[in-house]
Structure 1
């Protein structure tokens, strides 16, 4: 199984959707809560170049946000990435 990391905020509906998709695939992502900002937010921006949540990484590779994750699913590429 791949190592999945996700930067999120608890009130973000896109974060909830992304996390639900991963859980449906049997993946429990390591999550970093950015509700209070702080150094993890700075880390997310440095790693992804983006300021919005969620930001998702699979085995250290930035795959983007919720829409990007669902695009990988539609293209049939997400399962392959998660199985690595």
Structure 2
């Protein structure tokens, strides 16, 4: 039970870190709002906002898409220590 709880807490922390970094990458790339970025890249605003607000995790494939758009490392975006 304790292990399950720790795994869930870690998952939540990972998801929140990825969401925080996604938001920072967007802002640093010059997109003041999630809507601006979504429209510019043709992404679903609903899905993008869920990713940025940590309501829905995103996978490596999606991280790669975001990393190319915002010119950051997908590893960093997902919480790793890679250079931005």
TM-score, normalisation: structure 1: 0.29
More strand by percentage: 1
Between structures 1 and 2, the one with greater helix share? 2
Q: Which has the bigger relative contact order, CA under 8 A and spacing at least 6?
A: 1
